[in-house]
Structure 1
Amino acid sequence: MNLRPLSTIAVEVIAALLNRGFADYLVPLRFDAAAVQAMERQDQVDLDASWLLHDGREHLGVLLIARRGFHSRVAGMCLVPEARGRGLGRHLLDTAIHSARERGDTHLHLEVIDQNKTALRLYQRSGFKRVRQLLGYSAAPVDATAPEADDISVHPLTTYIETARQHEWSNLPWQISAPTLAALDVNQHTTLRVGSLLALVRNLPNQIKILRALLPLNTSEPSAADLRALRDRHPAATWRAPALFPVEWQPAFTAAGLTPDDLTQSQLTLEL
């Protein structure tokens, strides 16, 4: 088996291979060249440190590695269906670990869907330890007559980033940490301050609000009352939050009327 840096491969080829590898994944994923370039920009995916697996005739798999300081993250790993069951997933993961150690990285991170038992076993057998479970949520529109909180203020994306750099947890999931969020489109995201909570919201058409990140300012957990006030500000909206929020925050989410999704993730870390 051979490995080539993804920086030597056209982004259209990378996207097509990711689509093949994730075609039967637990959640729908679709890639194009723009999506691959967005992962470079937002998640700090380093194509020089990422790999294409091939056997000299066919492309068999992809390993995407994000880098930030002395920390790396497995941002995506997949094999085409016909390459599975041959130990190649272990080969790719061993490559990620070995390369990270050669670079002098101190930690390798990833998130894995808990229902993906095969992948979870692979990571744990390779020494990854669970940091915490991560949950996602959804909520239907609320009563439009609910009184709107009078302490909600609207700010740009930069307000969230600047505050998060000072106050956020050091081991939050990579995708909702300040360095990742700083690369988001400022025109598509809004920071809302609700009481002692900062919420980063992406606005989509058709009254859909994506809760991208939360930052409790005075406590370790968000306030249920602040989350409820956030929903009440947009009573006609359907809310969605990806499975990236620490399980410790679940009581506040559920008390605010948001329902946990069935699919959950585990945040894993390997100390190198």
Structure 2
Amino acid sequence: MNSTVISNAAAHWNSYQLAEILSHCFEGYLVSFTIDGETFASRFAAEDISLNDSRVWTQNGEPKALAIITRRGRSCRLAAFAIRPELRGQGVGKRLMKQLINEARARGDRNMWLEVIVGNDSGLALYERMGFVRQQTLVGFSAVSSTLFTATGELQEIDPMVMAKKMMTDASLQLPWLSAPETLYKLVGKAFVLNDVAYAMVATAPQGFRVRMLYVEPAARGQGQAKKLLTLLRERFAGLNTATAIPEPMAPIFLRSGYRQDTITQYEMLLKF
């Protein structure tokens, strides 16, 4: 790596400064991205950011690249990785990724996760060269205005931790970091239950209300509970959408409940050490 590019722990900057750096480094990215300090703090806190392991690379004192690392147990995740346009296409990304991987190995992590937008061919190629393997496709949805049917039942607001604990006891769940119960209960928003068997987390975001996850107890699946719940939420929250964090196999449930799939999708990828 160029000797003038210096690696620093992100702990030296506050959330507002890191948000500005991240937005600055994402200039000219495939998808327009900006974030403010408050959103940065709440979002990455829910994802368990490690400021000591996250990195800001500077050149002549100016931030040129940023990597946000989140950690849970022996697993870590590259939650954001951005490099200024003037340093792209020079092999910098590969060198920075090698550093992040070596640091993860050194602290004893067993897995490293990330998401990459489908269509970001250069990013996907880089991650595959580094050994990351695609695990699943993540999709997002937006509610349409028309009502498919009159849903029965009544939503009851609950503590998000109740939903998270239900999900944590289900060993069959294979959820991405963004939709995992460890993320959900820390989000700013509300959790709901329908008929004591169907649960949903609706978080607030700059884009409006977002369904972050849907969960139905195993014994109640296949009975239309998810469709009823999603329809009630659509009627209750105008402009409801989801993050691009819904596993693709769940798409039919959303489509049957009055949602349209967004054009942006992501690959979830994993590197095992």
Calculate the TM-score normalised by the size of structure 2: 0.87
| 1:201 and 1:212 in contact (8 A); partners too | yes
**Mapped partners of 1:171, 1:56: distance in 2:** 44
Taking the TM superposition and a 5 Å limit, the aligned residue runs for 1:50-69 are 50-69=54-73
Structure 2 residue aligned with 1:213:
213
| 2:214 and 2:226 in contact (8 A); partners too | no
**Mapped partners of 1:76, 1:89: distance in 2:** 13
| 2:244 and 2:264 in contact (8 A); partners too | yes
Residue aligned with 1:46, SS: coil
Q: 139, 148, 158: which is aligned to 2:161?
A: 158
C-alpha distance 58-42 of structure 1, shift in aligned 2 (>3 A): same
Per-residue deviation, 1:211: 0.8
**Mapped partners of 1:66, 1:212: distance in 2:** 18
Taking the TM superposition and a 5 Å limit, the aligned residue runs for 1:1-272 are 1-143=5-147, 146-150=149-153, 152-167=155-170, 169=172, 171-185=174-188, 188-193=189-194, 196-202=197-203, 209-218=209-218, 223=222, 225-233=224-232, 234-235=234-235, 237-272=238-273
Return 174-183 or 100-109, whichever deviates more. 174-183
Instruction: Give deviations 1:113-151, integer Å, cap 9, x for gaps.
Output: 11211111111111111111111111212339x433126
Structure 1: runs of 5 or more not aligned:
none
Instruction: Give deviations 1:187-242, integer Å, cap 9, x for gaps.
Output: x3122335743111236799x641111123117x9658333312432436333111
**Mapped partners of 1:9, 1:143: distance in 2:** 47
Structure 2: runs of 5 or more not aligned:
none
Q: Name the amino acid aligned to 1:215.
A: Y
Aligned length: 267
Return 156-165 or 96-105, whichever deviates more. 156-165
Residue aligned with 1:184, SS: coil
CA RMSD of aligned residues (A): 2.6
Return 100-109 or 155-164, whichever deviates more. 155-164
**Mapped partners of 2:127, 2:163: distance in 1:** 33
Per-residue deviation, 1:13: 3.1
| 1:142 and 1:231 in contact (8 A); partners too | no
| 2:55 and 2:67 in contact (8 A); partners too | yes
Query: Identity across aligned pairs (percent)?
Result: 25
**Mapped partners of 1:205, 1:249: distance in 2:** 24
Q: Name the amino acid aligned to 1:71.
A: S
Residue aligned with 2:45, SS: helix
Q: Name the amino acid aligned to 2:235.
A: P
**Mapped partners of 1:182, 1:66: distance in 2:** 16
| 1:134 and 1:264 in contact (8 A); partners too | yes
| 1:154 and 1:190 in contact (8 A); partners too | yes
Per-residue deviation, 1:261: 1.0
**Mapped partners of 2:146, 2:206: distance in 1:** 18
| 2:6 and 2:59 in contact (8 A); partners too | yes
C-alpha distance 150-16 of structure 1, shift in aligned 2 (>3 A): closer
